[in-house]
Amino acid sequence: MIVEICASNELASYVDALESEGFEVVTYSCLDRCESCIAEPYAYADGKLLETTDPEALFALLRAMKEEDVCLTSDDDW
Domain map (residue ranges) of the chain: 2-76
39 versus 18: the higher-pLDDT residue is 18
Q: How far apart are CA 2 and CA 7, in angstroms?
A: 15
Whole-prediction pTM value?
0.83
28, 6 in Cβ contact below 8 A?
yes
Contact between 23 and 1 (Cβ < 8 Å)? yes
Question: Mind listing the pLDDT tens digit for each residue in 53-74?
Answer: 999 999 999 999 998 876 655 5
According to DSSP, residue 52 is labeled: -
